[in-house]
Structure 1
Amino acid sequence: MDFRSDTVTKPTQAMRDAMANAAVGDDVYGDDPTVNELEAWAAERHGFDAAMFTTSGTQANLLGLMAHCQRGDEYLCGQQAHNYKYEAGGAAVLGSIQPQPIENNPDGTLDFGKLKAAIKPDDSHFARTKLLSLENTINGKVLPLSYLAEARKFVDEHGLNLHLDGARVYNAAVALDVDVIEIAKHFDSMTICLSKGLGAPIGSLLLGSRAFIERARRLRKMVGGGMRQAGILAAAGKLALTEQVAQLATDHSNAKKLAEGLNDIPGFSVNAEFVQTNIVFAKLAESVEIDAIAKELAQQDITISPSNPVRFVTHKDISSQDIDVLLEKLSALV
């Protein structure tokens, strides 16, 4: 059992079969039929003009930011945003794009008053503010549809574009019980990670206008992201979006079960209100020796990331029975 992340999921047998039998070509030349099919289908499915298959969510976000912004431009984002905090500063290092992080509210949203105050005036002393980037889900929390509508209104009023880091956007859609297009329709561009809870082995999508994706495709080549017979990977990505979405509801249910069980263990505290999808954060009392606990669990083939708070992530390779086992082991070790 591996509770570190939903990135550890293994591809399904159907994915492995599809990969083995995929029709392929050279995607840099644009003639891989399986990649082309995935991109065309994904664009139409999510309400965009075009899509591009990339190696990772980090690459998709980087290309999206660089396609929106020029050198010396700026994007607004949250302090906890993955494309600000956890992607090695790529936008700044490779795109010369300045991030302007804003403190996230406890529910993951960003305050529009603070965002407005952070927009730079049209003055040669300042970077040019061009983009607002949101993340959904963020730390497992779902941005409400009403907030997304407000964000759309905000960027329109201030002449900005709106990008979504949608690494777990399908988790958000399942939690809200809406079609994913109800989220996507508010954004100028969006990424979707295929290799987290959706279970594909590799890959993310970047979606936007045709001109935007053309710019991003050139940038993908520039950063070494052009792949050749990538249809082998795209075949699994299509199944991730068509066959694995229903699994996310089970993952969410298992996360709730885990959160409730952790609250019954002395020294563990979970804010159940914020367990909305498949990510659980448990704050630990000083008496809980999480490093020692993690080592003991590892000897029993149970993997967690020791920290405080400690993050547990449920996914298709974690069952309800696995939750029972983890809770029993943790209780005994504490």
Structure 2
Amino acid sequence: MKIDLRSDTLTKPTPEMLEFMMNAEVGDDVYKEDPSVNELERRIATMFGMDSALYFPTGSMTNQAAIKIHTQPGEQLIADAYAHVYNYEGGGVSFNSGVSCKLLSGHRGMITASQVEEAINPPDFYHSPLTTLVCLENTTNKGGGACYDFEEIKNIKKVCDQHGLGFHLDGARLWNAMVANNEDPKSYGEVFDTISVCLSKGLGAPMGSVLVGKQQFMDKAIRVRKILGGGMRQVGYMAAAGIYALNHHIDRMAIDHQRAKELGSQLEKIAVVTSVEPIDTNIVIFKLAEGPLKQRFMEELTEKQIFISDMGQGKLRIVTHLDYSEAHHERFLAFLQKFK
């Protein structure tokens, strides 16, 4: 029995999702004539109380489009040093938009309003890049699935409004944050100018992300998507997977969160584990002591066909997800309990 916990992107469509996909009504989405895509976009725009939404093939393209919409070449965005838009999107901020990043040292990938305020370059000082955008990530990937306090998000929004800055949320795992904290999507729609949400992580769809936002920004989104090569044709089969996931896979994320916490609790009892970071959602980040015991731990994981991610700098990552069943969970817990 293979247990793959490297990422929540590894899920495969359930039989019910596949049946729903195969029965989807489709058209040419480049002409905006795919009924399933149009329904998905309407559904997510309504959920967040935003003006409109646009379906993208990937989360990175969704974030990169948002950054392009909000900025001009030579300008600068503010983000945490752990931000996905900086670390894991291939340098797209500079390549696609000609924009630099001012990276802040937040807590587990989360920055504060006071940090943002201090990081804004004076707009009349032409020697430094013009600050025009703030990007947050919720939950934080590199920060171990940490969730922002929504009050701090609102404080950052006030700073953005005072300085005329755009406000974008990389919400690849926003569904996890909203489930964990019992939050309303409309609250996020009231604060951010644009939000990207992923369908292929916790929701378990095979592909796709959606950019949702205010109309003044979304009017530019379809053109930017075209420039980035994101125009798709009969993609309603994939959009239907997202619709099915919205209907059936949001509330069950609480199970992923509980299993992650149970794994973290067990890891803390093992001598070779030197630290386990706080667990808010479905990501567990921990460190092992250097030495032969660490090597044996990793070798036994491989022997048991249990796969996790090495994040570098001594950090290891576990991500629970839709395809991590109760049987998988019991087997992994048993391994951890027996490891000496």
Q: Please give the range of the TM-score, normalised by the shorter of the 2 chains.
A: over 0.9
CA distance in 1, matches of 2:223, 2:111: 32
The equivalent residue for 2:119 is 118
Measure how far apart 1:40 and its partner are.
1.3
SS in 2 for 1:185: helix
Measure how far apart 1:289 and its partner are.
5.1
The equivalent residue for 2:107 is 105
Letter in 2 for 1:302: I
Conserved? CA contact 2:267–2:276, under 8 Å = no
1:179 aligns with 2:180: no
- Worse-matched range after superposition: 316-325 or 6-15: 316-325
Which of 260, 277, 284 in structure 2 is aligned with 1:280?
284
CA distance in 2, matches of 1:269, 1:237: 39
CA distance in 2, matches of 1:183, 1:132: 15
User: After the TM superposition, which residues 75-114 of structure 1 pair with which residues of structure 2 at under 5 Å, given as runs?
Assistant: 75-106=77-108, 108-114=109-115
1:91-120 C-alpha deviation (Å, 9 max, x unpaired): 1111101111111124x4213333222211
1:29 aligns with 2:31: yes
Measure how far apart 1:156 and its partner are.
1.0
CA distance in 1, matches of 2:59, 2:150: 23
CA distance in 2, matches of 1:51, 1:291: 47
1:199 aligns with 2:201: no
The number of residue pairs the alignment matches comes to 332
CA distance in 2, matches of 1:161, 1:263: 41
Q: Percent identity?
A: 40
1:26-71 C-alpha deviation (Å, 9 max, x unpaired): 1111111111111112111111101000011111000000011111
Q: Which consecutive unaligned segments of at least 5 residues does structure 1 have? A: none
SS in 2 for 1:236: helix
Letter in 2 for 1:103: S
Conserved? CA contact 1:130–1:160, under 8 Å = yes
Measure how far apart 1:265 and its partner are.
1.2
Measure how far apart 1:322 and its partner are.
2.1
TM-score calculated relative to the size of structure 2: 0.92
The equivalent residue for 1:144 is 149
1:209-267 C-alpha deviation (Å, 9 max, x unpaired): 22312211101111111111110110001112221001100000001100101111111
Letter in 2 for 1:10: K
Measure how far apart 1:177 and its partner are.
1.5
Conserved? CA contact 1:152–1:187, under 8 Å = yes
SS in 1 for 2:307: coil
Measure how far apart 1:294 and its partner are.
3.6
1:260 aligns with 2:262: no
The equivalent residue for 1:304 is 308
CA distance in 2, matches of 1:296, 1:271: 20
TM-score calculated relative to the size of structure 1: 0.94
CA distance in 2, matches of 1:153, 1:65: 20
Measure how far apart 1:124 and its partner are.
2.6
The equivalent residue for 1:229 is 234
Change (3 A) 1:26 1:288: farther
The equivalent residue for 2:330 is 324
Change (3 A) 1:290 1:6: farther
Which of 16, 26, 29 in structure 1 is aligned with 2:18?
16
Measure how far apart 1:154 and its partner are.
1.3
Measure how far apart 1:189 and its partner are.
0.6
The equivalent residue for 1:59 is 61
1:39 aligns with 2:45: no
1:150-176 C-alpha deviation (Å, 9 max, x unpaired): 111111111111110000101101111
Superposed CA RMSD in Å reads 1.7
CA distance in 2, matches of 1:270, 1:171: 23
1:69 aligns with 2:75: no
CA distance in 2, matches of 1:124, 1:171: 41
CA distance in 1, matches of 2:322, 2:304: 20
1:164-210 C-alpha deviation (Å, 9 max, x unpaired): 00001011011111222223321111010000011000000001122
CA distance in 1, matches of 2:122, 2:41: 38
CA distance in 1, matches of 2:291, 2:185: 43
- Worse-matched range after superposition: 14-23 or 293-302: 293-302
SS in 1 for 2:211: strand
CA distance in 2, matches of 1:164, 1:196: 16
1:153 aligns with 2:158: yes
Conserved? CA contact 2:189–2:213, under 8 Å = no
Measure how far apart 1:270 and its partner are.
4.2
